[in-house]
């Protein structure tokens, strides 16, 4: 088995909604009794791969065996997409099968050409690795027939051999895939800038995003949120309820702080997030000493804080307004009225262990922390909780141990929503996770002593069903639509430039700042020539798509460059074909022949909304 990749593909091709690369695979040993239903069931139930129907054929199928090969290659595309997603690579278009046929040199093997999505910044070896691995797994499944005993083996192969190289090529957060998946579904174009930063939209409508953080988030505000001492000080100075704490650097100082603040207390690192090193419900000096030791293992900056009675509520502020609110509960098990807490924990851990490692939660033992948490709630390992009753296994929700959530968006008192939105504005964050500790979120903070415990930069967005359901609303407001600007393409010789200038002027008359560019000429809305260090329509168009002053684009195609690069965009509004005098991109003294011209026009027509012929 071997694969060959065409390295000059870097744009949109064949109607794909993400930039594509062409791969060629050679396969042998196709089983006569390929059970696609069993393979699909295994992929869906064991790996949670989404099985989509194959789109209409781009290639011609000559016989039944070619059909089987094509069917298996479609599963390769779906599995390859899945592998990239769990590695944090936002690939959502499954790709396309271009051709399936017997190899000319070796009739015993099949040659399949596929076009697969490509993310900017991912080396070609990463794409080859992904789909070569997917092909090996699919071929293994089709040979085994009913791979009931294979999950653990395949899980290990994926976890240890396939995912590590992919994860080393990308920076991704928990919010990245859910947000960009929704952008893809909403037809918002995006490109990877690097280091996990993405551009959503084009030109004047473009935005930059890193996880759930956006370009309008203040760098200074971000710095303040990462220091709990500074953050609380700023909140208090702005008249907002904040934690009362004392910085300490020894156990002795912690005891003195306890004498001033009184019990119960919280001890936490001053500069850590995600609940790291936090101990709550400290009621004596012995527990205080243990809590200090725990916090000191994470940081040298320790806070002793007066504990506020209540529950932690996360108010997600997006585009400066509350998008949703959730009650955050600690890791727990839910009673069924039949089994003991110990049995419920064992059952939950067994179910969790049966999943692929990348879908597993952290194993939760019945350790000292769990026993303390359930004891405070009135339970023991031998208790049989009623159906629907939750038994906490930790005192607080944290990233390390997880937890559960409940939607409370409709119950948040307006005064509590108002202080959360004020806090986000105070730190100049477009998006923020504001944590309020309150005994009753339906009551105003000034009546029950609630506080703003933290303001979190780049909050997790998309890690639960509540958040995922609201991402379309969030993106629509962030992008003010789909983030696209009008783009038109004119094809031909010098007359095409004249027509392009005419189209540009029509936009300008409508007060739309439109840029025109060919491979060697770029004209600004004011009529000035814009200089670039390259003669390439693909590169110039890509540069203008990053230009915040560009409200519309007219691209003049005078060469066959796009056949080499693909298109810089996945959709444009109008295609105007002026004439057939198109030159060779590599040799400006030679015109392309009719076959190449038809291939170029076919490529453009894949992505055109409207076609005009001169």
Of the candidate ranges 182-186, 236-240, 274-278, 281-285, the one whose mean pLDDT is the lowest: 274-278
Do 275 and 153 fall within a single domain?
Answer: no
Q: Would the pLDDT of 28 be above 90?
A: no
Do 267 and 132 fall within a single domain?
Answer: no
Residue 179, φ and ψ in degrees, nearest 5: -70, -45
Do 11 and 144 fall within a single domain?
Answer: yes
Q: Are 441 and 408 contacting, i.e. CB atoms less than 8 angstroms apart? A: yes
Structure confidence at residue 513 (pLDDT): 99
Q: What span, in angstroms and rounded, lies between the C-alpha atoms of 93 and 118?
A: 10
Q: What span, in angstroms and rounded, lies between the C-alpha atoms of 312 and 231?
A: 18
Tell me: the pLDDT tens digits for 381-403?
999 999 999 999 998 887 778 88
Mean model confidence pLDDT for the chain? 92
Do 8 and 153 fall within a single domain?
Answer: yes
β-strand partners of 6: 22
In Å, how far are 13, 75, 156 from 95, measured between CA atoms? 10, 11, 26
Do 278 and 162 fall within a single domain?
Answer: no
**289, 307, 325: which is the final residue of a domain?**
307
Q: Are 320 and 334 contacting, i.e. CB atoms less than 8 angstroms apart? A: no
Look at residues 317, 306, 334 and name the one whose alpha carbon lies nearest to residue 216.
Answer: 317
Do 141 and 256 fall within a single domain?
Answer: no
Chain center to CA of 468: 11
H/E run at residue 143: helix 124-144
Q: What span, in angstroms and rounded, lies between the C-alpha atoms of 341 and 383?
A: 6
Q: Tell me the mean pLDDT in the region 285-304.
A: 94
Q: Tell me the mean pLDDT in the region 554-567.
A: 96
**Which pair of structure tokens corresponds to residue 326?**
């959730």
**Does residue 205 form part of some domain?**
no
Residue 438 exposure: Cα atoms within 13 Å on the Cβ side: 30
**Does residue 507 form part of some domain?**
yes
Q: Would the pLDDT of 34 be above 90?
A: no
Q: What span, in angstroms and rounded, lies between the C-alpha atoms of 200 and 471?
A: 14
**Which pair of structure tokens corresponds to residue 527?**
């009529």
Do 257 and 147 fall within a single domain?
Answer: no
Do 287 and 143 fall within a single domain?
Answer: no
* Domain range for 42: 3-170
* Residue percentage of the chain with pLDDT more than 70: 95
Q: Tell me the mean pLDDT in the region 188-209.
A: 97
H/E run at residue 490: strand 487-491
Q: Which residue has the tokens 């994926």?
A: 158
Do 136 and 259 fall within a single domain?
Answer: no
Structure confidence at residue 613 (pLDDT): 63
Say which residues have a Cβ less than 8 Å from residue 327's Cβ, sequence separation at least 6.
311, 312, 313, 405, 406, 408, 441
Residue 393, φ and ψ in degrees, nearest 5: -110, -5
Do 33 and 158 fall within a single domain?
Answer: yes
Q: What span, in angstroms and rounded, lies between the C-alpha atoms of 549 and 551?
A: 6
Of the candidate ranges 42-51, 59-68, 270-279, 604-613, the one whose mean pLDDT is the lowest: 59-68
Tell me: the pLDDT tens digits for 356-367?
988 888 888 899
Say whether pTM exceeds 0.85: yes
Kindly compute the dihedral angle of the four CA atoms of residues 579, 583, 588, 589, in this order, to the nearest 10 degrees: -80
Rg value, the chain, Cα: 29
**Does residue 456 form part of some domain?**
no
Do 164 and 38 fall within a single domain?
Answer: yes
Q: Are 572 and 605 contacting, i.e. CB atoms less than 8 angstroms apart? A: no
**Does residue 386 form part of some domain?**
no
Say which residues have a Cβ less than 8 Å from residue 325's Cβ, sequence separation at least 6.
313, 314, 315, 316, 407, 408, 409, 411, 412, 417, 441
Which CATH number goes with the domain that contains 497?
A: 3.40.50
Structure confidence at residue 514 (pLDDT): 99
Look at residues 92, 332, 299, 51 and name the one whose alpha carbon lies nearest to residue 198.
Answer: 92
**307, 327, 346: which is the final residue of a domain?**
307
β-strand partners of 556: 490
Domains identified in the chain, total number: 3
Helix axes of 176-185 and 465-479: crossing angle, nearest 10 degrees: 60
C-alpha angle with apex 452: 449 to 457, nearest 5 degrees?
175
Which CATH number goes with the domain that contains 280?
A: 3.30.1490.20
Q: Which residue has the tokens 């930039």?
A: 19
**Does residue 272 form part of some domain?**
yes
Tell me: the pLDDT tens digits for 455-499?
999 998 887 889 899 999 999 999 989 999 999 999 999 999 999
**Does residue 236 form part of some domain?**
no
Strands 451-457 and 432-438 turn out to be antiparallel
**Does residue 366 form part of some domain?**
no
**307, 329, 352: which is the final residue of a domain?**
307
Q: Would the pLDDT of 275 be above 80?
A: no
Do 162 and 252 fall within a single domain?
Answer: no
Q: Would the pLDDT of 614 be above 70?
A: no
In Å, how far are 497, 532, 546 from 501, measured between CA atoms? 6, 19, 21
Structure confidence at residue 150 (pLDDT): 61
Say which residues have a Cβ less than 8 Å from residue 230's Cβ, sequence separation at least 6.
224
Structure confidence at residue 8 (pLDDT): 38
C-alpha angle with apex 323: 322 to 325, nearest 5 degrees?
80
Q: Are 412 and 325 contacting, i.e. CB atoms less than 8 angstroms apart? A: yes
Look at residues 269, 272, 275 and name the one whose alpha carbon lies nearest to residue 248.
Answer: 269
**Does residue 28 form part of some domain?**
yes
């Amino acid at each position: 088995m071997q694969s060959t990749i065409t390295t000059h593909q870097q744009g949109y091709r064949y109607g794909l909604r993400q930039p594509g690369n062409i791969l060629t695979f050679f396969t042998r040993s196709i089983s006569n009794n390929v059970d696609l239903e069993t393979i699909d069931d295994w992929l869906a139930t064991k790996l949670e791969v989404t099985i989509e129907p194959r789109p209409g054929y781009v290639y011609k199928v000559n016989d039944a065996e070619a059909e089987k090969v094509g069917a298996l290659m479609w599963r390769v595309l779906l599995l390859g997409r899945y592998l990239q997603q769990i590695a944090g690579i936002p690939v959502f278009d499954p790709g396309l099968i271009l051709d399936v046929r017997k190899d000319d040199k070796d009739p015993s093997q099949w040659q399949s050409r596929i076009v697969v999505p490509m993310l900017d910044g991912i080396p070609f070896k990463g794409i080859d690795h992904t789909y070569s691995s997917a092909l090996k797994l699919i071929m293994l499944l089709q040979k085994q027939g009913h791979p009931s005993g294979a999950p653990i083996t395949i899980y290990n192969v994926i976890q240890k051999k396939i995912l590590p190289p992919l994860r080393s090529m990308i920076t991704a957060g928990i919010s990245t895939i859910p947000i960009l998946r929704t952008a893809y579904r909403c037809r918002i174009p995006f490109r990877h800038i690097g280091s996990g930063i993405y551009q959503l939209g084009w030109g004047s409508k473009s935005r930059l995003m890193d996880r759930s953080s956006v370009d309008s988030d203040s760098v200074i505000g971000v710095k303040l949120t990462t220091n709990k001492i500074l953050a609380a000080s700023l909140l208090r100075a702005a008249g907002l309820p904040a934690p009362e704490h004392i910085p300490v650097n020894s156990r002795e100082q912690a005891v003195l702080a306890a004498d001033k603040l009184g019990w119960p207390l919280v001890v936490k690192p001053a500069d850590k997030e995600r609940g790291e090193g936090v101990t709550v419900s400290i009621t004596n000096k012995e527990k205080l000493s243990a809590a200090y030791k725990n916090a000191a293992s994470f940081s040298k900056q320790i806070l002793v804080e007066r504990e506020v009675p209540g529950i932690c509520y996360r108010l997600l502020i997006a585009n400066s307004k509350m998008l949703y609110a959730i009650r955050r509960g600690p890791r727990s098990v839910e009673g069924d009225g039949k089994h003991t807490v110990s049995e419920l924990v064992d059952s939950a851990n067994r179910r969790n262990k049966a999943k692929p490692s990348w879908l597993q939660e952290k194993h939760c033992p019945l350790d000292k922390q769990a026993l303390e948490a359930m004891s405070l709630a009135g339970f023991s390992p031998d208790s049989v909780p009623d159906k629907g009753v939750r038994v906490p296994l930790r005192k607080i929700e944290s990233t390390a141990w997880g937890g559960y959530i409940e939607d409370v968006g409709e119950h948040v008192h307006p005064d509590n929503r108002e202080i959360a939105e004020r806090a986000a504005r105070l730190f100049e964050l477009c998006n923020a996770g504001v944590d309020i500790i309150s005994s009753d979120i339906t009551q105003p903070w000034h009546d029950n002593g609630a506080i703003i415990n933290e303001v979190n930069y780049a909050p997790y967005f998309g890690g639960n069903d509540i958040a995922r359901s609201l991402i379309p609303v969030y993106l629509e407001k962030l992008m003010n639509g789909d983030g696209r600007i009008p783009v038109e393409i004119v094809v031909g010789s010098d007359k095409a430039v004249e027509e392009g200038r005419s189209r540009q002027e029509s936009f300008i008359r409508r007060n739309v700042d439109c840029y025109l560019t060919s491979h060697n000429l770029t004209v600004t809305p004011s009529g000035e020539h814009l200089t670039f260090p390259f003669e390439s329509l693909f590169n110039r168009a890509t540069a203008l798509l990053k230009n915040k002053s560009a409200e519309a684009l007219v691209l003049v195609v005078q060469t066959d460059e796009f056949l080499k690069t693909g298109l810089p965009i996945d959709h444009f509004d109008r295609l105007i074909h002026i004439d057939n005098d198109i030159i060779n991109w590599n040799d400006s003294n030679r015109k392309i022949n009719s076959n190449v011209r038809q291939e170029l026009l076919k490529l453009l027509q894949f992505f055109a909304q409207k076609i005009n012929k001169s």
